[in-house]
Structure 1
Amino acid sequence: MTMNTEDPACRSLGIALEEVATGRARLRMRITEEMVNGHGIAHGGYLFLLADAAFAYACNTYGRVTLAHSAQVTFLRPAAAGDELVAEATERVRYGRNGVYDVTVRRPAGEIVAEFRGQSVMVSGRPDSEGKH
């Protein structure tokens, strides 16, 4: 994997990389008081960032620089200060220079907080000859 595992943005927010394998990644983050919005719940931007980071690690497991092309998130339940969240990214398909990845953000007990789908594009190197995984 060529992506820097010491990502400064993740490190500054206490996001920990727990696992990474081809097309997959799992990260963990605790919601702090500084991450809470005016409604007293976790700001959606932090949930998106956690999911996006898991997506980034998963799509960069092939050793080629791969970036987000687009992404969307659906917030299903609020998170609060003190909640620990786990984001698990899974590759759905790779085709040519593109890929589709799903990320589920949940509490460790399994309650789903958000669902994220990211589309990636490889910007360096060449796609695998098969084009799919």
Structure 2
Amino acid sequence: MSTSLELALACGEALWVGDHACRGLDITLVDIAAGSATMSMRVRADMVNGHDLCHGGLIFTLADSCFAYACNSENFNTVAAGARIEFLAPARLGDELTANCNQVQQGRRSGVYDVTVINQAQQTIALFRGNSHRIGGHLVESENL
């Protein structure tokens, strides 16, 4: 019998195997537990837009990725049903962004998760809310843990 933390770690590892988007953007999974995750990303030169700011779509990608790991951390195959983001401050070249996601509500099929994206100075860059939908099946076989 595995603990919820062991299961969350195994789910994170299972997702990471095929997560070419996160690896390509150098997004790192910092922490994962049942219903939560933390990920980080350093803003590179190829992530900066014409205003010399981190492209909002990449901040969204960091938040959305963190949401994905959190809502799959309990070993139910889960996808996004919707998401929205509020940009509160700009991120700049060289900033180290950290996304922290926490489960707000999880029902049998649908869930709500909040993500806060901060920079290295602890300034809030964005707030993201994601709605999840469990589609059936599992990421890992829990008896193998």
Common fold: TM-score over 0.5: yes
1:5 aligns with 2:13: no
Equivalent residue runs for 1:90-109 within 5 Å: 90-109=102-121
CA displacement 1:98-121 (0-9 Å, x = unmatched): 000000000133110000000000
CA–CA separation in structure 1 for the residues paired with 2:119 and 2:80: 25
CA–CA separation in structure 2 for the residues paired with 1:61 and 1:40: 35
Matching residue's letter, 1:5:
W
Aligned counterpart for 1:88 among listed residues 86, 89, 100? 100
Secondary structure in structure 1 of the residue aligned to 2:15: coil
Structure 2: segments with no counterpart, 5+ residues: 1-10, 139-145
State the match for 2:88 in structure 1. 76
Secondary structure in structure 2 of the residue aligned to 1:34: helix
TM-score, reference length from structure 1 = 0.91
Matching residue's letter, 2:54:
A
CA–CA separation in structure 2 for the residues paired with 1:72 and 1:44: 12
State the match for 1:15 in structure 2. 27
Identity of aligned residues (%): 45
Matching residue's letter, 1:27:
M
Aligned counterpart for 1:35 among listed residues 47, 55, 59? 47
Aligned counterpart for 1:110 among listed residues 118, 122, 138? 122
Secondary structure in structure 2 of the residue aligned to 1:9: helix
Shift of 1:4: 1.6
Shift of 1:46: 0.2
Query: RMSD value over aligned CA atoms?
Result: 1.3
Question: 4+ runs of 1 displaced by more than 6 Å?
Answer: none
Matching residue's letter, 1:64:
F
CA–CA separation in structure 2 for the residues paired with 1:52 and 1:71: 8
Report which of the two has the higher share of helix: 2
Structure 1: segments with no counterpart, 5+ residues: 127-133
Secondary structure in structure 2 of the residue aligned to 1:10: helix
The answer to whether the Cα contact below 8 Å between 2:95 and 2:120 also exists between their aligned partners in 1 is no
CA–CA separation in structure 2 for the residues paired with 1:55 and 1:75: 16
